[in-house]
Amino acid sequence: MNRTDRSKQSQPAPPSRKLANVIALSPVRPARAPRSSLAAELSVLDLARVVAIDNGKITVEVPRLGPAPQPARTIIPHADLAPDDQVIVARLGDRGAELVILGRLFDPLAPPRDVRVNGRKVSIEADSELILKCAAATIRIGRDGLIAVRGERVTTQARGVNRIRGGSVEIN
C-alpha cells in the first residue's frame, strides 16, 4: 500500500453515515411517547340524558345504546348536574363499555336553576354591591358597609338574647 491508500483507510466515516448504519442495524425501535390512557381509549361521543344522581352515583340514558340506564363517571362536579340534563358522554375502553360525562348542554333561553350548595362554608363576594331580592323583599350589602334589609315585615328571632347594637339605635 502506498501512502495515499493508508490516509484514505484511516479516516473515519462521516458521523451522519455512522448514525444511519447504527439505526438501520439496531434491533430496538425508538420508544414512542407515552399516550394518556384516557385519550387512547376514547372511542365515541354521544348525547345522553341524566336519569338519576344517587349517593354520588350517576346513571344516564344513551339513546344509541338503548333505553336501559347506564352508570357513568364525570369530569364535572356532581353539583352541576341534575336529572333530565342533556350531557355529552364519551364511551371508553375496547368496547365502549364505560361512560364518562364530559359536559352539560345549556339552553340559553331556559330560566336559571335553583342553586343548592352543600358544604361547610359558602362565600359570595362582590366588588361594589350585593343584592338578594325576592319580590318586594330586598337585602342590600354595599361597599360602604351599609346593610339594608327591606320588606313588608322583618322578623329577627334568637334562642338566646337578641341584641341590637350600634353607635345609636333608632326605633321608629
Please report the domains of the chain, with CATH numbers, ordered by start residue: 37-104 (2.40.50.140), 124-154 (no CATH)
**Hunting for cell 323583599 — which residue is that?**
137
Which of 94, 27, 105, 124 is closest to 60 using CA atoms?
105
Cα(33)–Cα(10) distance, integer angstroms: 40
pTM assigned to the model = 0.46
- Between 25-39, 51-65, 72-86, 156-170, the lowest mean confidence (pLDDT) is in 25-39
Higher local confidence (pLDDT), 80 or 69: 69
| pLDDT mean over 25-32 | 49
